[in-house]
Structure 1
């Protein structure tokens, strides 16, 4: 039996504001006792107790990720990293280097005499990059196939936008994807065209992009080793419970393999793609709403719209007009009213929690209209960037949980001002109003969109400052304590795990994060540092 005594630091239990204890005693990963050091030092008399001196640091319950894509993070770690590219030239440079690396690896595999090579069926490797953001590029727009053809014309290339909702193919990629000037835009998506005609320019948006990207799961090398790296990234940010927020067959197969081989060390809650993969629930009942080792299936995931920074979120009022778009352009939905009602009905009948991606307020309306009555399943509105204050009343009535991507304030706040106008941008991620209405909410980073940096997210929630230093509506700021709740006890509640996680309390899991400073005591501007 492993026994540990934590002491000599600031220990925030998160049970209630101001609650601190001097020491915590743990046996076999469970909290056995909390209280004063004088009381708990009696446990030192027991055999083999490990004393863990906190040296004045601050200990809290470990952070809980309420929405991300851990399998996707593992996948994109294999790709060219474009998050620091500031212009087309830098994208081309990074991707040329990635191309040389991938082709060298492919050549080595061919020399090893792989069977498919012997049979003349060697797979054409895709060269993939992730993380560019057209809002930050010098050119102020997405690259196109003509830019990517500068990297190569004889191998397929795909670069993925930071939002994960759009991307660009080179000419070879378009050919392999079967996209021509005769290809029509799919429902809920868009194929970019060369100006003045129907020839595809390489840009793909929403469902058009997702169809191509869904075939890239196995590109880029050993996914197991990259998953271990991804898992460690979560641990480095103090997270011990993570999410896989749109699990398909390949992703679940991987998670089960990692779990069975004891490679999965972090708790992962999987949400199955309700549109294309709902059969996975019945086929994996041993994981349904309960952990088997470190993996459980929490329910379903549904998408209703796109991203506000990509101008594909579905709004009730038009975006600020942009060249090439109509003045009444509001984004667009992915599904019809009837389809959404059917998805919501399905989750309800199966008594499964439903997490629904809604960035635009009209998409939120569509979900709330389909919900019809309160649910005990703690259904979650993912992102809720442009949640209107009048919508919060029905959110509360329906017992839904908004999970805000509040770091949008910093990363894309200036873009939202440009796309939405100041009045709407001021109110993105209205956590302050949500708190005032006593609605339980959580925070997330939508990793791999950004890293799962919980302290940065807390900083965003209490300061609401954009990259350019603009302060968005300060009425929506939270206290540091309330922001911490959103990534600890509220996260546990979202997962129906509040009896096991989220506070430092007797009987709960001994999952802790140790910080250099007490976030409740330092200047709020310094929290992310």
Structure 2
């Protein structure tokens, strides 16, 4: 019997090996000028073999030969002369934001290139007023327009565009409804006609600390009151929202993104309809991106749900997972206000002008929700901008660890506008991760230095260099439209650290090109707990690639964001840009 057992084991191994080999009768081999794998053991290659949507082998044509013998092989030279990388990943997007906002004109400080058109940036009060008049007058002159829909434009910011509040808008348009959607997304400004159209009264909002009636300024939950009103339901009409979601899907493809993570399912208040429309837009053969959805606490607070009810809803949504749209045990918490609005929370000495930031919910309420989903084994993501908010996050992780220790919890600080070195070290000790928006320092460091934080803190916004020195896992995200939906732009911002005005921020906080590329590939996959499936080019992972016309590791760093994208490969299928 002892002699028979080894023989039987050998037969089993031979059978298993032959069965696996028989499952791959046909392969496609892609060759390229250079394949940047993001794998330490083999950082570069020139050929990759793919079968059944996954990577079979990586190397060169000679090293791939053992896999190719006796099989039908399709040699695809489409990418000769081009650069292959793992498909780009954006670990913090909001599908509904582009789906809604691309319905309207952009008038922002920075330039925007969208499927709906090009919108050059304007950076002065006069230029903003002139552009607003041009676009709004054209809208109101259209005889086909729906008179129940106000003119809406996104991108206003007071530090560039000056006073454009209700009295100014009433003077410009005394009898036509105008809504300015703030660059932060977290605020809207309405003129009197728009307020009347929406149906909000002064008595209704009296005492609401996030509404300035005289200015027509509705912030955070005040903005939610406007956007959730019956008069604004047109934003989510299936035909309009469907076109907007198509724009979002197109933007993902244009950017070379094959995986993304939503960070706020239910952000507009109707999660069931939003999820249904996302499925309709993405569960298609011609879509080349998978999307992981993350429920957000503000939705459940708005619905007056308790955590048990929230978990039940999430389980129901998860039951409808598809290959393109996935719930995967992530949960989003909100700490301080938006960095673009100047409502982030900062420790002493705070803001130069003395104003204070805001908590988006009572911090103890946030902790109660965090603790519940921590104990359920979820990965937590905390919207966190200022260093006072980072301090609160550290305390909450410590409290959760004390009552139920967890290894590999990967609690993620989302945004990372400003944290101190001691906080960064503590985050590393606690096992936290960073999902950062490096575009913040490009857009905001100059105006924060002059108006709100001073030179020392403002030039160290988004301190990626120190975070990398302490060994934190860093992903880079767009939070579109807080930054363009463009991973190469994020790499460019993290590597160069220049501002919109051409000034230099602290170079110590730069990332190397390799580390920045990891932030949109393998390290971003780690934030999604999908690093075993995506993020690098290695045998066994999904065959997701982005194809570039130039090499980001050899091109001048200030040219990285200008690299042209040929298209993507998603699970082995080619998706060239049109």
On the 8 A contact 1:165/1:307 being kept in 2, the answer is: yes
> Which residue, 214, 221, 225 being the options, matches 1:207?
221
> Which residue, 437, 446, 453 being the options, matches 1:420?
453
Q: In 1, distance between residues paired with 2:319 and 2:333?
A: 18
> Which residue, 22, 30, 34 being the options, matches 1:10?
34
Structure 2 unaligned segments of length 5 or more: list them. Answer: 1-24, 109-120, 301-306, 563-578
> Which residue, 129, 147, 157 being the options, matches 2:153?
129
TM-score, normalised with respect to structure 1? 0.87
2:193 equivalent to 1:172: yes
2:403 equivalent to 1:382: no
On the 8 A contact 1:92/1:150 being kept in 2, the answer is: no
Structure 1 counterpart of 2:333: 302
Instruction: Go from structure 1 to structure 2 and tell me whether the alpha carbon gap of 1:349 and 1:480 turns closer, same or farther (over 3 Å shift).
Output: same
> Which residue, 88, 96, 103 being the options, matches 1:78?
103
SS at match of 2:97: helix
Instruction: Go from structure 1 to structure 2 and tell me whether the alpha carbon gap of 1:53 and 1:258 turns closer, same or farther (over 3 Å shift).
Output: closer
Q: Considering only CA atoms, is the larger Rg found in Structure 1 or Structure 2?
A: 2
SS at match of 1:314: coil
Greater shift after overlay, 498-507 or 50-59? 50-59
Q: In 1, distance between residues paired with 2:189 and 2:276?
A: 28
SS at match of 1:208: helix
Q: In 1, distance between residues paired with 2:345 and 2:81?
A: 48
Paired residue total: 496
2:365 equivalent to 1:339: yes
Structure 1 counterpart of 2:437: 405
Q: In 2, distance between residues paired with 1:223 and 1:331?
A: 32
Q: Please report how far the alpha carbon of residue 82 of structure 1 lies from its aligned counterpart in structure 2 after TM superposition.
A: 1.8
Q: RMSD between aligned alpha carbons?
A: 2.6
Q: Please report how far the alpha carbon of residue 5 of structure 1 lies from its aligned counterpart in structure 2 after TM superposition.
A: 1.6
Q: Please report how far the alpha carbon of residue 469 of structure 1 lies from its aligned counterpart in structure 2 after TM superposition.
A: 2.1
Cα deviation, 1:422-456, whole Å, max 9, x if unaligned, reads: 11012111111111111111111110222211111
> Which residue, 466, 476, 500 being the options, matches 2:533?
500
Q: In 2, distance between residues paired with 1:455 and 1:260?
A: 26
On the 8 A contact 1:355/1:379 being kept in 2, the answer is: yes
Structure 1 counterpart of 2:136: 95
Q: Please report how far the alpha carbon of residue 259 of structure 1 lies from its aligned counterpart in structure 2 after TM superposition.
A: 4.6
TM-score, normalised with respect to structure 2? 0.80
On the 8 A contact 1:357/1:381 being kept in 2, the answer is: yes
SS at match of 2:84: strand
Q: In 2, distance between residues paired with 1:29 and 1:69?
A: 27
On the 8 A contact 1:155/1:172 being kept in 2, the answer is: yes
2:80 equivalent to 1:60: no
Greater shift after overlay, 430-439 or 82-91? 82-91
> Which residue, 263, 278, 281 being the options, matches 1:258?
281
Q: If each structure's helix is expressed as a fraction of its own residues, which one has the higher value? A: 2
Q: Please report how far the alpha carbon of residue 281 of structure 1 lies from its aligned counterpart in structure 2 after TM superposition.
A: 4.6
Describe how 1:14-413 pairs up with structure 2 within 5 A.
14-16=38-40, 19-40=43-64, 43=68, 46-47=71-72, 49-83=74-108, 84-85=121-122, 86-101=127-142, 104-106=144-146, 124-137=148-161, 140-141=162-163, 143-149=164-170, 152-154=173-175, 156-175=177-196, 176-180=198-202, 183-186=205-208, 189=210, 191-193=211-213, 200-215=214-229, 216=232, 218-219=234-235, 221-248=239-266, 249=271, 250-259=273-282, 265-277=288-300, 279=309, 281-285=311-315, 288=318, 291-298=321-328, 299-322=330-353, 327=354, 329-371=355-397, 372=399, 373=401, 375=406, 376-413=408-445
SS at match of 1:506: coil
